[in-house]
Each structure stands twice: as structure tokens, then as C-alpha cells.
Structure 1
Amino acid sequence: MKQLFIKQKLLSLTDKFKVRDEHGNDVYYVEGSFLKIPKTFTIYNMQGREVAVITKKVFAFLPKFTVVMEGKQVITIKKEFTFFRSRYTIDAEGIEVRGNWWDMTFEVFQNGEKIGQVSKEWFTWGDSYKVEILNEEMETIIIALVIAIDCVKDDQSTAAAASTSV
């Protein structure tokens, strides 16, 4: 089992952060597009190679996020049409998320086998997540999934704040 930690800085204008291992070593570097449309987050390994791109679809009736790895779309997260509570679906080949992904406490399964677990770290500045990787072959896709879910949450809270200020 491998543990990784994602820590985003509070009040950061640049949308840049790193993913570290349990020893504090940098494993991935994440860079967001600041004031750019469409909003994207690109995940790089520490050799500078792009490993995943998360993009919010611009001209969609309901919010939709995609994760592309090695030129192939591997994850889609889209908002369902509902009248009361927001609901999202995650579409990825053989990958299922169980638990409360809105609170960032969930398990990741592939074809019924648990491959990872995510938990939010409390009492920290900014958002911090502990990601336990049980199948190291799926490490990059799990990290991309966690960052994509965090993008969805951030987009939803931004939209909610904008609607209450009108």
C-alpha cells in the first residue's frame, strides 16, 4: 500500500499544488489554468511529463468534467438534472466510487476490487486529502479522480456562492 497526500493552498491565486508521498517527497505537480476558458488542471509527474488533464466542458447544459490520460478520455463526471439536491455521476471503465465523495471520504473500486481509499484531512489550512493506493498500477488514475472530484466540488461551491450573492 502506498500513501499520497494532496494539499491545496488556501487563498492561492495560481491553482498550483503538489502531491507528496508519506515521506514528504514530491510525486506529482498539478497546475490549474488561471482565468482561462475552459478551466483545466494538468497533472505532471516529477520528470515534467503530462500524465492527465482535467477539463470542465464549457458549452454544456449541466456541468461536465472529463479526465484525459495519454490522449484517451478515461473519466467523465457530470451533473444530473435534479430539482433539489445536486447529484453527479462518475463514468469510468470498471471504476466505481463508494462512500461520501462530496465529503471526500470514499473508496475506489475497479471491477469490484478495492484499489484505493480517500479521506479528508481535517484541521489543516486549505484542502488536504490522504489517498491510499492499494493497486499501484492505478495510482495515476486514482490521483486524477480525486483532483477531478475536488474540481467538481469547487465548481459547485462557486456556483452556489454566486447564486446567493445575486
Structure 2
Amino acid sequence: MKFVVREKMFAIGDDYWIEDENGQRAFYVDGKVMRLRDTLELQDAQGAEVAVIRKKLVSLRDAMTIERDGQVLVTVKKKRLHLVHDVYRAELASGEELEVRGDLIGKEFDIEYEGERLARISRKWFTLRDAYAIDVERPDADAGMLIAVAVCVDRMVDKEHDE
């Protein structure tokens, strides 16, 4: 299933819709303003909370958490000492790890588990500057969680690149 992310450039609170491949609204990213730390809420099309994304307050390296039902589901951070390209990892609460690798700045990257691609993030199909696709390749994958991981990596890479 493919999803399209079209970030609004000057949106207050970073609010935007993520549509499915048929153009239907599938998820809403609600940026929470006036918070101590960077916080986003991922909601389904009916407004139910799918995940809460937060920047970690205390961390040696930049990191974000993805929470569901008040529990940390995933922690996303940059992998240390990777020589060729930046690689991020998403550590699941279960102890398993997803790797995020590719051209992160150009938004052409994959989310993998044990070498198997779960999702591909790509901007190449769009002429709009702030639009990219998230192609969740496995039907049994948690699309909400993979979208949240992609949103985390996108924000972290943009912040690092801006600095």
C-alpha cells in the first residue's frame, strides 16, 4: 500500500494529511505546539490516535520515540560510525531493530528488518518539493508504525541538515 506525504510549508504546528494511493485521507499528522519537546500525533482518518512521536529530552544523540497507548513502541536514532551513508535505526520495544538506509536527505530510503525491505520512501515520483511516497511493501506490516518511523527520520535528517 502506498501513502503520499505532502507537508505544508509554513503550516502552524506542522499539521498535514497523508493520503493513500487512491487519494483518500489515511493519516493525519498533528504537530503539537507549545510543548516542551517536539511532539507529533499520528491519527487515522477518523481521528483516533495511532502513535505519538516525541523528541527525547535527554539523549547523547538526537533521538525520537514512537509511543502507542502510552508505551514506547520504537526509539529512532542515528547509527554511530557508519562511513558511507547515514543510517538510522529504529529499536523496537521487543529488542528487535529496523534499519533505515539510503539517501536520507533526498528522501530515497528503505526501512528494513533483517535485510528484508518493509517500506520504501521515495520522492522521485513527485515534482513538489515537500512530497514523497511511503510504499509499505508487506501486507502484514504495521503501516502506522512504519509511517511514524519515516516521519521521525525525515524530521531528524531535516533538522540535522538545517544545522
Residue 118 of structure 2: aligned partner = 115
Task: For 1:71 and 1:12, locate their aligned partners in 2 and report how far apart those are by CA, in whole Å.
Answer: 27
Residue 139 of structure 2: aligned partner = 136
| RMSD between aligned residues | 2.5
Comparing 109-118 with 89-98, greater Cα deviation is found at: 89-98
Task: For 2:97 and 2:87, locate their aligned partners in 1 and report how far apart those are by CA, in whole Å.
Answer: 17
Q: Which TM-score applies when normalising by structure 1?
A: 0.80
Residue 155 of structure 1: aligned partner = 159
Runs of 4+ in 1 over 6 A off after TM superposition: none
In the TM superposition, residue 95 of structure 1 has moved relative to its aligned partner by 1.9
> Match of 1:141, as an amino acid?
M
Paired residue secondary structure (1:103): coil
Task: For 1:56 and 1:157, locate their aligned partners in 2 and report how far apart those are by CA, in whole Å.
Answer: 17
> Match of 1:146, as an amino acid?
A
Deviations 1:98-154 (A, max 9, x none): 3222322112222332221110255315x1111111113321111111111112023
* Percent sequence identity over aligned pairs: 25
In the TM superposition, residue 6 of structure 1 has moved relative to its aligned partner by 0.6
> Match of 1:119, as an amino acid?
S
- Contact 1:56–1:64 (CA under 8 A) maintained in structure 2: yes
Task: For 2:51 and 2:114, locate their aligned partners in 1 and report how far apart those are by CA, in whole Å.
Answer: 22
Comparing 24-33 with 104-113, greater Cα deviation is found at: 104-113
Task: For 2:79 and 2:158, locate their aligned partners in 1 and report how far apart those are by CA, in whole Å.
Answer: 17
Q: Which TM-score applies when normalising by structure 2?
A: 0.81
Residue 30 of structure 2: aligned partner = 31
For the pair shown, the structure with the greater C-alpha radius of gyration is: 1
Task: For 1:140 and 1:78, locate their aligned partners in 2 and report how far apart those are by CA, in whole Å.
Answer: 18
Task: For 1:19 and 1:25, locate their aligned partners in 2 and report how far apart those are by CA, in whole Å.
Answer: 9
Can you give the 5+ residue segments of structure 2 that lack an aligned partner in the other structure?
Answer: none
